[in-house]
A and B are shown apart, each in its own frame.
Chain A
Amino acid sequence: MISRELIFEIGRTLIAILLALLLGFVIILLVSEEPFEAFGHFVTGPLTTTRRIGNWIEATIPLIFTGLAVSIAFQAGQFNIGAEGQLFFGGVVATIVALSFPLPMYVHVLVALLGAMVGGAVAGAIPGFMKAKWGANELVSSLMLNYVFYRLGLYLINHHFRDPAAGAMVSYRLPETSWLQWFWLPTRVHWGLWVALAAIAFCYLFVYRTRWGYALRMTGLNKDFAAYAGISVTAVIIYSQVISGAIAGLAGAADVLGLYRRFQWQMLPGYGFDGIIIAILARNHPLGVPIAALFLAYIRSGASIMSRMTDVSAEMVAIIQGIMILLVTARAFLSKWRHRAVVKEATKHEVNA
């Protein structure tokens, strides 16, 4: 029963993606002088050179973290729209740790990552705590806190860690001991990938194999039932948001320690909101997150290559992506087809009375 549903879901997702790509192609046909070339770049571009493959993987890493962060919150029946602020703040804390505490190789990077987790966790704990204690809607509070942590982070970097010698508003360069090393030259694919894989394993095991994960899922499925059975719903709400925030914090650290080696964001990077898309695509399953993140990063880098190589603008891909998400998340899409299959199956068997 479950597997049939799963097959249907996967099939439906694939059809939605194909349809969206088709629509995307139609749009490209309309706006481009060289549609076939443009579409070719879009679809196969990210795989053509090692550098491009590297770019694709680099872009995937932070998305895995935010996808996991949002999935964990969703599984607990909570919204975490604050992943954006949490990852930003995580990046800020990682920068501060990297710049302020000279530590030996390996230890330094680990402490910086830990700092990012703590930063994200604190940012995540606030809406969780306010929800659990005072019933404050976490959707609103986590969204609003994005701006609080965004500005707070900018203040810390621009006023205390800014590199005056640099031509832009960026922090000092981080010491090498705090870097997530590039391990696949000439690309910038860094150790953050292993951290991301560890985070996936952690989330999967935590959610499906521990009693806290069980409590979290039951609370998400039916919080009245959880309370009735003796599960502390308050605790679940808080720890789900804390874990979610900590993982989101790693997304910021991954980019800062792995790619830029200094803090250079002056805007929210958008990974937090991407995390919501990824969680929805992955149906909140930790093992689905990397696939969804790879997919999103792929169409992003394909778009960027297309806009660089041809006359189609990168905005086009935002449109294609939007259509894809609409089709994939629309529950009723193809449901008639599915219902017909269900009817056929159900009427085939005799009912045991």
Chain B
Amino acid sequence: MQNLLEMKGITKVYPNGVLANDKVDFSVLPGEIHALVGENGAGKTTLMKVLFGLETPDAGEVYYKGQRLQVSSPLHAISSGIGMVHQHFMLAPSLTVTENLVLGAEPRKGLAFDWNTAIKTVEDLSKRYNLHVDPRARVRDIPIGMRQKVEILKALLRGAELLVLDEPTAVLTPQETEELFVALGELKRQGHTMIFISHKLNEVRQITDRVTVMRGGRLIGVRNTSEVTEADISRLMVGRDVILKITKSPPTPGKKVLEVKDLSYFTTEGKPILKDVSFNVRAGEILGIAGVEGNGQSELVEILTGLRMPHAGLISISGQEMTSASPRQMRELGVAHIPEDRLLHGVAADASIEENLIADRIQESDYTGKIFLKSKAIAENGQNLVGEFNVVARSAKTPVKMLSGGNIQKVVVAREFSSSPSIVIANQPTRGVDVGAIEFIHKKLVEICRSGVAVLLISADLNEVMSVSDRLLVVYGGQIVAAFPDASVVSEEELGLHMLGIKTQEAALLKEALA
């Protein structure tokens, strides 16, 4: 069979000198679901951006249906029949599903927008592909899973034959993922071709026909999915065997380090984001908070670390009341924080690694005299931490922006873990980092916890929150809806149902578990 898409010798270098794609040859057969896997920074997204006209390659050619294709813009790609479903949805939240779908290609009646035809188009399309959406609902009111369907329909409406799905399941619950896979199967049956980018190898195994593995900007291999195991793929991705199973000793809970009581937070319009949240974290235990992103976790973490003021409730650290304390005061009591967005909060990307590693301790007498900084001590701190935390970099003086995502995260982890914390608050600590770094960060979290530090782990990644945590809470709609005293006995399905708000634990039971 002839290839539908062929990318030959694609090379892309970013202005900072990162070789994102190195002579990559990538091809897709018509009608298949083709997985594109690799660690973060392996070059998958860059390759797809080249295909979609978002990046111009420095070398290489693209052939689509046997014809040379020079994509200069996404519009061009769309008109050629290539559609992309981005990881972060490109939708206007205040518009309805229908309006979002026909945006830019609105049916008209005279000069006016033909609302009825638009609705009909959407309904027909949705029926044809078995992707159910509510055409009249506003996008901001529909769940994530449905938003994604809107994204897929948007591409289909514009005549996409080849669909690129960039980590489509990253934001979905297990149930929503199942639903998505059924829909993708239907698309395939109707003759569409899909490129499926993912980190989750079980999903790759489940729905794809072939898999292309990338590592360090290069194409490592193409396999028929049915002929390889997950272990094979991960070995190709990382270049060595990875142990994803975490071994940890049983927890030894000590004193309560963090106590949260009836914490509430509202938006400026008065919409509740957090409602009466109460829980404790003890020294020597890892408390996990699972939940689909956007259920109040970000606000909770920002309140606990002093970056945001709560509207009601109490926070105590090691017995001291610290509600509405500043980040400085929180840090002085040993609150370490791994933020969910490392580039926004975690680092100053233009500063060097060693400068980033002293941001929280610059006022300490180890690093500054009365007037001048102790540059020797700062350099030593940098070198030691870079070594201890396996940060791959030319030196500790390298600007952080030159590092890969996983190594930037290691810089953040190194700083926070070396601050001699009493509690580590880790918010999505392994999001968007490669398998090797995930393994490392998990190991470090368990290690520091067992040395007597309290750990609060907030994560939307079920595997992570289940395997790392000792105890587990589920947050939904700004409330804690379930508590499990032993994380190791909870099933993924059970957790998923709570995360979606379908199941709720009884209030009395919950109260007891949280006391």
Contacts and interface: CB of A to CB of B under 8 A. Distances in A.
Interface stretch (A32-40, A227-235, A266-274, A314-322): A227-235
Contact of A225 (B359, B363, B402): B359
Interface string A110-142: 000000000000000000000000000000000
Interface stretch (A43-51, A181-189, A213-221): A213-221
A347 B372 contact: no
Interface in A37-90: none
A200 B458 CA distance: 47
Contact of B359 (A2, A226, A335, A343): A226
Contact of A227 (B17, B307, B346): B307
A214 B402 CA distance: 21
Interface in A234-291: none
A168 interface: no
A1 B402 contact: yes
Interface stretch (B171-179, B256-264, B349-357, B474-482): B349-357
Given A228-B307, A228-B337, A222 B373 contact: no
Contact of A210 (B355, B358, B372): B372
A165 interface: no
A217 to B, nearest CB: 7
Contacts of B16: 342
B13 A225 contact: no
B398 A1 contact: yes
Contact of A214 (B13, B22, B346, B355): B355
A351 B217 contact: yes
Contact of B349 (A209, A222, A342, A345): A222
B18 interface: yes
B348 A221 contact: yes
Given A211-B373, A214-B362, A351-B216, A346 B344 contact: no
B345 A224 contact: yes
A221 B351 contact: yes
Interface string A334-353: 01001100110111000111
Interface string B329-357: 01100000101000011111111000100
B120 interface: no
A218 B326 CA distance: 18
A31 interface: no
B15 interface: yes
A211 B359 CA distance: 10
User: Which size class do A's interface residues fall under?
Assistant: 20 to 34
B347 A351 contact: no
A217 B351 contact: yes
B347 A225 contact: yes
A345 B402 CA distance: 15
B328 interface: yes
A175 B16 CA distance: 57
Contact of A209 (B217, B218, B373, B402): B373
A343 B328 contact: no
B216 A352 contact: yes
B371 interface: yes
Contacts of B330: 230
A224 B305 CA distance: 13
Contacts of B337: 228
Interface string B202-223: 0000000000000111100000
B345 A225 contact: yes
B372 A205 contact: yes
B324 interface: no
Contact of B305 (A225, A228, A232, A347): A228
> Interface centre among A335, A338, A351, by most B CB within 10 Å?
A351
Contact of A353 (B239, B339, B372): B239
Interface in B179-211: none
A351 B39 CA distance: 14
A229 B360 contact: yes
Nearest to A343: B13
B58 A343 contact: yes
B360 A346 contact: no
Contact of B327 (A230, A345, A351, A353): A230
Interface in B351-388: 351, 355, 358-360, 362-363, 367-368, 371-373, 375
Contacts of A1: 17, 394, 398-399, 402
Nearest to B42: A353
B362 A346 contact: no
B125 interface: no
Interface residues of B, number: 47
B11 interface: yes
A339 B399 CA distance: 19
B510 interface: no
B394 A218 contact: no
B54 interface: no
A202 B351 CA distance: 21
B19 interface: yes
A230 B328 contact: yes
A347 B58 CA distance: 11
A339 B56 CA distance: 12
Given A211-B362, A214-B362, A227 B348 contact: no
A67 B402 CA distance: 30
A221 B17 contact: no
Interface string B56-99: 00100000000000000000000000000000000000000000
A209 B307 CA distance: 28
A229 B18 CA distance: 28
Contact of A228 (B15, B215, B346): B346
Nearest to A228: B345
Contact of B347 (A205, A211, A222, A227): A222
Contact of B17 (A215, A231, A346): A346
A227 B345 CA distance: 8
B348 A222 contact: yes
B347 A342 contact: no
B218 A351 contact: yes
Nearest to A232: B328
B13 A339 contact: yes
Contact of B363 (A211, A221, A346): A211
Nearest to A230: B328
Contacts of B349: 221-222
Contact of B372 (A209, A230, A351): A209
B200 to A, nearest CB: 21
Contacts of B351: 217-218, 221
Nearest to A220: B348
A352 B41 CA distance: 12
B348 A218 contact: yes
A225 B346 contact: yes
Nearest to B18: A346
Nearest to A231: B359
Given A222-B350, A230-B330, 7 more contacts: A209-B372, A211-B363, A211-B367, A214-B355, A218-B351, A218-B359, A231-B328
Leading 9 A-B pairs by shortest Cβ distance: A229-B359, A353-B216, A221-B348, A230-B328, A346-B19, A228-B345, A222-B348, A343-B13, A351-B216
Interface of B: 11, 13, 15-19, 22, 58, 215-218, 239, 305, 307, 326-328, 330-331, 337, 339, 344-351, 355, 358-360, 362-363, 367-368, 371-373, 375, 394, 398-399, 402
25 contacts: A1-B17, A205-B372, A210-B371, A210-B372, A211-B373, A214-B373, A221-B349, A222-B349, A222-B350, A225-B347, A227-B327, A228-B305, A228-B307, A228-B327, A228-B339, A230-B327, A230-B331, A230-B359, A230-B360, A338-B15, A339-B13, A343-B11, A343-B58, A346-B13, A351-B216
